[in-house]
Structure 1
Amino acid sequence: MQKMTAIAGLLGLMIGSAAVADSISDYNNSWVGKANAMQRKLDIASPLKDNNIIGTHNSYNSAVYRDADSYLDPQQKFSIYDQLRLGARFIELDAHWTAHTNGWPWQWGNDLLLCHSGIGASMGSWHLGCSLTDRFVRDGMQEVRNWLDQNSNEVIILYIEDHTDGHQSELLKVLNDKLGGKIYSSGGCKAIPDTLTKQQVRQAGKQVVLWKDGGCSSNGSLASLAYTSLGNVDRIWEDGTMIGYINGLLNGGVDRITAADVTTAFKTGGNIVNLDQFTNTDGRLAAAVWSWDVGEPNNYNGNQDCAVQWGNGRWDDTECSNSYAYACHQPGTNNWAITGQTGTWSGGAAACALLGNGYVFDVPTNSLDNEKLKAAKNGVSTVWLKHNDIATEGNWIIP
């Protein structure tokens, strides 16, 4: 009977994992999933401080890892690996040097654990809220590594909340063991630069921008890897725990990010939105789409290879031979202008150059710029964007 129960439990776990995997695949094949993926490609050459990034808050504190005394008040429902699959590009791991009873008794002791305890640093070695069976930091980083290896063109921001009580060398060892060769070097004790782009990270052969709080590390090697702050990269987050909900009620408000908050944050120049309870059915993912209109691009009749912005600010794919005005941008600013002349898509560069003042034919790479372009049209309904999939159907590029 015990054997049958164990087999049934194993089958249930396998079925549950398959169901999660299928739901994520379904999301990634949906219009929302595809639109968000295309937006992540748009901003590869834009500074991180201008990117719109969906991430997760306390990514490790998930119901997937819950047991009798660990992660009892989870903020996430999916694993770290699956959060990345869903489009999270900011991952947070809280590293605590504290006691554990993982493994055999002779393996017990202190190690770096993924622990949800906001008072660990101030209470020294107490690390209140940590469990003896919390997961190792190295296990969370292995999930990140597995996903990065399967997605070699992607770049993420990895945030380490440092409660290591001075055990910086142990943290460095885990980073090197699990993410060695993937981390873009900070150059030592500085904030993320205003000019840093995902393209620069990839050109260096890296995939991870590492931010560790707690100031500059006393370990020189770790200091040369990790940025000490986000700099001018903006970030908002929420607390989706039950404790956070109760604290919110007691203090006059519950800390939650709504779909409207996501849209507003991106429209007004916000960069990172860290969500709790992040799932494939989360309506806030649809709210993060600011570019393509619903159901677009659809390559209607098989010959729609050039992008336009409609009057409502959303995008459509259409025939490149149509005639519209052009969207022109002053690089390095939020200034947009529309040409008086109209023409086919290929005439964009020449038409924008005639405006002078450094204007070039361009496409918005974030929600704020998309709003600025919409406002600059002054009643013009449809304008060409410098965005097409002429070379390969479905592969939209900024040529």
Structure 2
Amino acid sequence: MAAGAIVAVLVGGAPPGTAATQPPPPPSPTAPCDALSPIAIPCTLLGKTADAVAAECRRAGVPDERCTVPLAHKVTQAARDAYLKSWVHQAAEFQYALGGSLPLRDAQWIGTHNSFNSPSDSLTLSHEDSNQQLTLTQQLDIDVRALELDLHWIPRLERLGQRAVTVCHGESPSEADLGCTNEPLFSTVLPKIADWLDGHSDQVILLYLEDQMQKPAAYASTIATLDTVLRRPDGSSMIYRPDPSKRAANGCTPLPLGVSRDQVRASGAQVILVGSCAPGWSADVFDWNADHVESGSTSAYQPYPACDATYDASVYATKLVRYFEDSTLVANLLDPTRPPADPNALTPAKVQSMTDCGVNLFGFDQLLPEDGRIQATVWSWAPDEPRVDGGGCTLQRADGRWVAAPCADRHPAACRSGSTWTVTAPVPYAAAAAACASSGSTFALPRSGDQNAALQAVAGTSGGASPGAGGAWLRYRITS
């Protein structure tokens, strides 16, 4: 969806001036077990077994509605189809387009952790201890735009012991790639992503390749697969390649955080590849080690503006900030006293706080379209907005969410100068630009969750159409 227009709207939802409340997330599938166990391990083990049984049921061709197993996640194509008709999907598309002009350091990505590790893909040892339930294609369908693939260089039975690049959730080469068995080859996984991109030519994804290879032959094979598979039928490459002139002393090119998704798309590319520095693949893969952080405290995360004391404002302003979770049995075994309710889980409430604070990249586990976490990344439109009968102009309510409003109404205008937001006295929408200009600033539109939260902090307590109403006009006209 283009950022300049809303082309599909739903009716209903919360009226302007009320808080945009989120429905509670569905209960954990292992909730009946969790109520009986003081630690997570037993219920996680039962849940993984149930997920594997349900996945095999679906793989056998049984209708997915009939593959509901107690303690297993409920995975249905109907949920995916319903999501594609929802206001959450429309808002996620809108926000993705709205952030297209932002530098990568400021743009938000909905992502998954160990995206490949799903029993829905194939029956393997590591997939049974899954991080995901959906396939890669299904994840992309529900607005995931950042994927993670772990690459190993292991002997393959079908190749008579010859090594090949394999996508696997296992240990490092120093630990003999423990856990990797019959997982799929990189050359069979990557086409699933390429096929989806070929049908969605306006989309750009961030693809994190976790390096567990460390052999020159492995990098050469990886590059050959990337260059062959991430190519369109007309022969053009989908890869946004590093500029050799920007290569650092370590032989790799740092991720250019000042580039935007729009610029990537304008170059003809759709895939930004990131990983650790390895000169063997540096022709395709950006080194992001110095450009991102991912060791913050999820359990201690607080609502805006407190956020996470691990990182100060300068980190958010200069790096990609990533938070991920790990729902595997292995992770629980490493923390055997962990309670069933994981304090490091990315719950909808945590996700909303992180979105307001400017977290760029989420690594969700077990993401399903109806579990509330994608909805928690929505910081712009209120549920089922903009209404067809609401008006042609956009108003940020006092709670920070956006609604359609009659342009003749009088509200403060949202003004921006540098990174500072201010608001004017109430004016009709037509006078908003002039009102901001009179104070030396520009009538503006938030393009990220943290920008929206910063404006709300200023406008939410200002005088609006009625005393104490708060809110502000945003520089966005609604078209149908």
TM beyond 0.5? yes
- Structure 1 residues 273-288: aligned runs within 5 Å: 273-288=362-377
For 1:159 and 1:14, locate their aligned partners in 2 and report how far apart those are by CA, in whole Å.
34
1:95 deviates by 0.9
For 1:245 and 1:96, locate their aligned partners in 2 and report how far apart those are by CA, in whole Å.
23
Per the alignment, residue 431 of structure 2 pairs with 347
For 2:422 and 2:260, locate their aligned partners in 1 and report how far apart those are by CA, in whole Å.
25
Give the partner amino acid of 2:384.
G
Per the alignment, residue 270 of structure 2 pairs with 207
Determine whether 1:228 maps to 2:291.
no
Per the alignment, residue 292 of structure 1 pairs with 381
Per the alignment, residue 129 of structure 1 pairs with 179
1:10 deviates by 9.0
Unmatched 5+ stretches in structure 2: 1-56, 67-74, 232-236, 292-318, 464-469
The SS at the match of 2:223 is helix
The SS at the match of 1:168 is helix
Per the alignment, residue 54 of structure 1 pairs with 110
Task: Check conservation: 1:54, 1:274, Cα contact below 8 A.
Answer: yes
TM-score when scaled to structure 1?
0.85
Determine whether 1:147 maps to 2:147.
no
1:289 deviates by 1.2
Task: Check conservation: 2:456, 2:471, Cα contact below 8 A.
Answer: no
For 1:249 and 1:32, locate their aligned partners in 2 and report how far apart those are by CA, in whole Å.
36
Structure 1 residues 147 and 325: alpha-carbon distance in aligned structure 2, compared to 1, 3 A threshold: same
Cα offsets for 1:298-338 (capped at 9, x unmatched)? 2126xx2221101111110122333322111124x2x1011
Per the alignment, residue 457 of structure 2 pairs with 375
Task: Check conservation: 2:410, 2:426, Cα contact below 8 A.
Answer: no
- Structure 1 residues 229-378: aligned runs within 5 Å: 229=288, 231=291, 232-250=319-337, 255-300=344-389, 304-331=391-418, 333=419, 335-340=420-425, 342-343=427-428, 345-356=429-440, 359-377=441-459, 378=461
Task: Check conservation: 2:137, 2:193, Cα contact below 8 A.
Answer: yes
Per the alignment, residue 226 of structure 2 pairs with 175
Give the partner amino acid of 2:462.
G
Greater relative contact order structure (CA < 8 Å, 6+ sep): 2
1:73 deviates by 0.3
Give the partner amino acid of 1:218.
P
Per the alignment, residue 79 of structure 1 pairs with 135
Per the alignment, residue 279 of structure 2 pairs with 218
For 1:367 and 1:68, locate their aligned partners in 2 and report how far apart those are by CA, in whole Å.
39
Determine whether 1:162 maps to 2:162.
no
For 2:373 and 2:454, locate their aligned partners in 1 and report how far apart those are by CA, in whole Å.
22
Task: Check conservation: 1:299, 1:318, Cα contact below 8 A.
Answer: no
1:11 deviates by 9.0
Give the partner amino acid of 2:223.
L
The SS at the match of 1:316 is strand
Give the partner amino acid of 1:13.
G
1:176 deviates by 0.6
Per the alignment, residue 112 of structure 1 pairs with 165
For 1:21 and 1:197, locate their aligned partners in 2 and report how far apart those are by CA, in whole Å.
33
For 2:147 and 2:331, locate their aligned partners in 1 and report how far apart those are by CA, in whole Å.
20
Q: CA RMSD in A?
A: 2.4
1:63 deviates by 1.4
Structure 1 residues 267 and 68: alpha-carbon distance in aligned structure 2, compared to 1, 3 A threshold: closer
Cα offsets for 1:198-224 (capped at 9, x unmatched)? 1110111111111022x1x333xx313
1:29 deviates by 1.1
The SS at the match of 1:248 is coil
Greater share of helix: 1
For 2:393 and 2:173, locate their aligned partners in 1 and report how far apart those are by CA, in whole Å.
53
Give the partner amino acid of 1:237.
F
**Overall identity of the aligned pairs, in %:** 28
Task: Check conservation: 1:62, 1:75, Cα contact below 8 A.
Answer: yes
TM-score when scaled to structure 2?
0.72
Deviates more, 1:262-271 or 1:240-249: 240-249
1:62 deviates by 0.4
Give the partner amino acid of 1:208.
V
Determine whether 1:90 maps to 2:149.
no
Task: Check conservation: 1:66, 1:72, Cα contact below 8 A.
Answer: no
Task: Check conservation: 1:341, 1:351, Cα contact below 8 A.
Answer: no
The SS at the match of 2:457 is helix
Task: Check conservation: 2:413, 2:443, Cα contact below 8 A.
Answer: yes
Per the alignment, residue 5 of structure 1 pairs with none
1:348 deviates by 2.8
Structure 1 residues 86 and 116: alpha-carbon distance in aligned structure 2, compared to 1, 3 A threshold: same
Deviates more, 1:273-282 or 1:286-295: 286-295
Determine whether 1:197 maps to 2:260.
yes
1:341 deviates by 5.0
Structure 1 residues 68 and 263: alpha-carbon distance in aligned structure 2, compared to 1, 3 A threshold: closer
1:387 deviates by 1.4
Cα offsets for 1:49-87 (capped at 9, x unmatched)? 112221000000001124253512011001011111111
Task: Check conservation: 2:166, 2:186, Cα contact below 8 A.
Answer: yes
Unmatched 5+ stretches in structure 1: 1-8, 394-399
